[in-house]
Structure 1
Amino acid sequence: MIKQACQVIAAAALLGIGGRAPGAVTIYPAPAGEELSANFTVKADGRPLPVYAAKVAPLAPERRWKAMDDKTNSASYFDLAAFGYFDLAGRANITVSCPQEIVSAKVLPTSYGLVPKVQGKTLSFTLAQPRHLTIEVNGNWVNSLHLFANPPETNAPSPNDPNVIYFGPGIHEIGSLEVGSGKTVYVAGGAVVRGVIKPEEKFSISGYSGLRNYQPTLRLRGSHITLRGRGIIDGGRSPTHARNLVYAQGTNLFLEGVILRDSSTWTVPVRRCENVHIQNLKLIGYRANSDGIDICNSRNVLVEGCFIRTLDDLIVIKADRGQGPVRGIVARNCVLWNEVAHALSVGAELREEVSDVLFADCDVIHDK
């Protein structure tokens, strides 16, 4: 782990002008009670940016495989990374300063062409548009800093709308929430929605792992359902294999913008769906079978502009027998960090017809 904290300063500047651009960076304060990372201190446009902690797969390969094989104790095998998020409208100069001398530095993906300028304890580069970046200093790739620069959020829903399930800034705890047709779930910037196991919740025993299975934290079932926002949905308080974070089953579904952290099993299963758009989701997980996005027996699904760092499969196509074909799937412009499974895959569990699948312009920044 990084023993000394780093300081990151993002100073926004107008194109061609030396001054700052008012409103170029939107920062969402962290809620009281949320654990923050001690490895990095971040400023955006001269203002503090919350840096959150995230458990990730451990450095040692044998511990990564132990996390996969030892289902009961999977949550015990991890290292810590960090992430911050903000909205960006304009051009930003990113400066990273560390207490120690910087010997080497990377800004990933390299396809973005963001080659940092290093001088002593400082590196800098210019960010001209929203991107999902990973910053690695002195060869430390496990305890990296993920910076999620989102496009500006527009047309946020009203908390008074009866068709909106609104999670404002702060910490919220929910069990399993069923979301029906015509509804929007909105997780505001600065909100953390924690999925917990309520005492009254029913469960079954998995024939695969022998562990308890509960209903998903968010179950989107119906038509014309939206999940959006800038905040965090966290599964860290659910035992391994307990529940999906977001389960999708329906037609005309839109998932956008939120951060999904530490799912206890598959993060976003898309099952028996038609017309699904998944955009700008950020997924970080480390536990056994914590897949990213599993597209199962679905048609016309677009996944774009997402960041995924999980222990198991990232974006994978699957088809259970008798549940319908898979057709018209596109995954593009995503940033992917693969550990022990597949970054992009037409998966092993194929028992129905699969056709018209396109993976395009995705950056795999690590493949362990």
Structure 2
Amino acid sequence: MFASARTMRLCEVSLFRLEMRGWRSYGVSANLFKYFLQVRRLFRRGSDQTMRRKAACVLLLSAATALCMAWNAAGGQVTFASIPPEVSSTHFTVKIGHKSTPVVSAASGYYLLNFDISSPVQVTVTASDPHYWDRGVEVQPMRFGIRPRRDGASITFPLEQPAKLTITRPGEHYADSEMLFLFANKPERYRITANTPGVRYYGPGVHRENIDAHEGDNIYLAAGAVIMGALNIWQVDNVHVSGLGMLLYNGPQDPDHDTGWMHKLNWHVITMDSAHGIEIEGITAVVRSRTWMIQMRDSRGVTFRNVKVVGGSPGNANQDGMDWLGGGDTLVQDSFIRAADDIFAMYGNWDGYTEEALATPGHEVSNITIESSVLSTSISNVVRANWPKKIFDSNHFTLRDSDVIHMGMGSCGVPFALVELWADPAGKGLQSNYRIEDVRLEDWYSLVQLRQPNPAIRDVHFENISAMDGPGLAPSELKGDVSGVTFRDVNLGAGNVREDANIPLQVMDGAAEPAYGHSAEAADFSYTGGLIRPGRKVTFTVPAAIGVRYHWLFGDGAAADGAVIQHSFADADGTLLDGTGRYRVLLAATDASGRTRWSSRTLVVRPSLMAAQTEEGMPQGLVKIAGSDASYEGMVRIPADGGYTLTLLTSTTASLSVDGERTQSGMLRPQVCGSKGAAVQAVRVSVALAAGLHRVEIDRGPEIENAASSKEPVLLWEGPGMMREPVSASALLHAAH
């Protein structure tokens, strides 16, 4: 029987895969692989007399291909290195396909694991505590739509592509939280060994040393290598650092004060000084001490690609992700940063906190692009430029196509934000041409704080910003010599913002009003009203537009495509497996240009409705609970049967109750830098309610309330036919006395 050219080509491709990806990882024996090579040589020589051997090649290589496919389906395409015992932990055990491994104990309560995948896999995470996941589990970024299946101490989910995931229990994204970071990398493109010429090679195991880069160095950290020290790229050019190894830095900095700003050798996990032509890719950098993590002074032509940076310390401060003290021309691509201060900060210079040091003019920072990255911090801002007394210029900063999964909660003089350009009151310099595009906000505090009385802030552009779940917790502000600010296709959970009140935004002290624009309507959708029980089919509808593709993530691990979709929810456990019945439904609308716009709704699944009261003639407004100056009670009028989520914004020790179903506030998080009180947080209750009146009770403690300028509580609602918005005054009532 003669083999077709197409089949022969498949044989060639299959054998090439075996050669390139490692035949052992496919379960192929050495002798069998050698025989494949021998048969291929005969096949390539080809003649009529060798057709039977050609057929043998087809059979053997087809069998090998089938074996590869079976191994892939079970998750066989996984590679991870052994973890040295000095950093290994069994607090979590991760099984990927057929392989299990402990994790790295990184910093504070953070754990991580690097591995390679080249095909879809199944991931199982097992905690050492059998009750660890009792309060639920969250996997971020949300755009992957991952909702694990729980079995006791284990959670399991499919992973279809390389990703940088954060796994926590609900609400645990602060410095004292436990977090697991899973970094699923693409297979390495370099095949570097200890014998590769011209390479400074660090093999698997622990190396207790600092690395000082030399001019033209090619430094390779192999998977499983742990460098207990710093990487110094000091006044040298053309340095390339790669590999899947790890830098682990734990310096001598004061844990109670900021000494981490100092610019000197061995003081940060990565330090650059007047360096040019630097490329760093693949590595992980962990910081355990209170210091700025990656500090660059007057360096340009720098690229970070697939770099993972994780910092944590008891002080929960001064672990900036990346700082530019002058310089720029930097690309950060496909990277992950977990910081304990500003993720990206630009200062021009920094030589301490004395009046003279702060007022010394710094160098320009320019041409920085952050893209396709996952960003997280326990405190402070995502992007910061300037400080109240600094003097320098910055321009052409771009953040695009990235997931902000955690932003700092609270305030350091001003509320933490996605972008903070703060030089109030005495800073100077032109900060211009900032573009924030295609950014997805998850746990976030405020959108923007631009405050500079002296010249000047110009041309700050926000486009296609999507709040994936939950409201902003503090207003934004433009103050001083600020102009050229635009918001285009910004959807913070209630459709595209069209005016200051939609953000909300305060414009003061001479700042120019921003411009609002829309290239398209937000892809807002509706769903079937009424009680949504487990198993009931729900119809989701979005007004279809020509050339737009719609992809749904229902919050239960399922997905679908189309403008009109029916879906049922199997249980009332909710997206976070926390028993609330609250599901986060996301819609991604991708147009012909490839730009994706996201919209989000909260849907509640419950077995039954809570019955309503029907009393008429009640006066409007909630009333204070006797003996309290901050707690209120009354009734809320629900317009239609269905699931509703009511949200109280508060910075106090508080609880929110609807018909007796109560949620308590989380731990209060004190604000810093002299800001009074605690950070605002969202207290949410999700319930299924019949149309009519339902009892509401808001208990607030004596602490400072930062959620509103008045003493009245800030209460939001969302439900069938209703995007998240403040509860209307006419819907809040109380019994007449």
TM-score range, shorter chain: 0.7 to 0.9
> 2:80, 2:99 → 1: CA distance?
8
Number of aligned positions between the proteins: 310
Please tell me whether the aligned partners of residues 183 and 226 of structure 1 are also in contact (alpha carbons under 8 angstroms). Answer: yes
Q: Given the alignment, which residue of 273, 282, 289 partners 1:257?
A: 282
Q: Given the alignment, which residue of 266, 288, 291 partners 2:292?
A: 266
Larger C-alpha radius of gyration, 1 or 2? Answer: 2
1:307 matches 2:336? yes
Matched residue, 2:504: none
Please tell me whether the aligned partners of residues 15 and 91 of structure 1 are also in contact (alpha carbons under 8 angstroms). Answer: no
> 1:139, 1:352 → 2: CA distance?
38
1:187 matches 2:221? yes
Q: Given the alignment, which residue of 263, 271, 282 partners 2:308?
A: 282
Residue deviations 1:157-192, cap 9 Å, x none?
Answer: 3434564221110110114x3212210221111011
Q: Given the alignment, which residue of 160, 163, 168 partners 1:136?
A: 168
More strand by share: 1
Residue deviations 1:230-273, cap 9 Å, x none?
Answer: 11111125444471111123111101111111253121112212
> 2:120, 2:69 → 1: CA distance?
6
Secondary structure of 1:351's partner? coil
> Equivalent pairs: percent with the same residue?
27
- Residue 108 of structure 1 deviates from its aligned partner by 0.5
Matched residue, 1:233: 247
* Structure 2 CA distance for partners of 1:356 and 1:88, relative to 1, 3 Å: same
Structure 2 length normalisation: TM-score?
Answer: 0.39
Please tell me whether the aligned partners of residues 324 and 347 of structure 2 are also in contact (alpha carbons under 8 angstroms). Answer: yes
Q: Given the alignment, which residue of 170, 184, 196 partners 1:149?
A: 184
Q: Given the alignment, which residue of 395, 398, 418 partners 1:355?
A: 395
Secondary structure of 1:341's partner? coil
Matched residue, 1:30: 83
Matched residue, 1:204: none
Matched residue, 2:270: 246
> 2:240, 2:126 → 1: CA distance?
39
Q: Which moved more, 1:135-144 or 1:166-175?
A: 135-144
1:341 matches 2:380? yes
> 1:191, 1:18 → 2: CA distance?
27
> 1:54, 1:273 → 2: CA distance?
28
> 1:15, 1:123 → 2: CA distance?
25
Please tell me whether the aligned partners of residues 94 and 124 of structure 2 are also in contact (alpha carbons under 8 angstroms). Answer: no
**Residue identity in the other structure for 2:73:** G
Secondary structure of 1:254's partner? strand
> 1:20, 1:82 → 2: CA distance?
26
Residue deviations 1:208-231, cap 9 Å, x none?
Answer: xxxxxxxx6423432211121111
Q: Given the alignment, which residue of 141, 164, 174 partners 2:199?
A: 164
**Residue identity in the other structure for 1:354:** S
**Residue identity in the other structure for 2:401:** D
Matched residue, 2:237: 223
Residue deviations 1:315-352, cap 9 Å, x none?
Answer: 22221266632221111222122222222222427532
Structure 1 length normalisation: TM-score?
Answer: 0.76
Secondary structure of 1:37's partner? strand
Secondary structure of 1:297's partner? strand
- Residue 116 of structure 1 deviates from its aligned partner by 2.7
Secondary structure of 1:260's partner? strand
- Residue 194 of structure 1 deviates from its aligned partner by 0.5
Secondary structure of 2:106's partner? strand
* Structure 2 CA distance for partners of 1:296 and 1:165, relative to 1, 3 Å: same
- Residue 104 of structure 1 deviates from its aligned partner by 2.1
More helix by share: 2
Please tell me whether the aligned partners of residues 93 and 126 of structure 2 are also in contact (alpha carbons under 8 angstroms). Answer: no
Which consecutive unaligned segments of at least 5 residues does structure 2 have?
Answer: 1-66, 255-259, 261-265, 350-359, 410-737
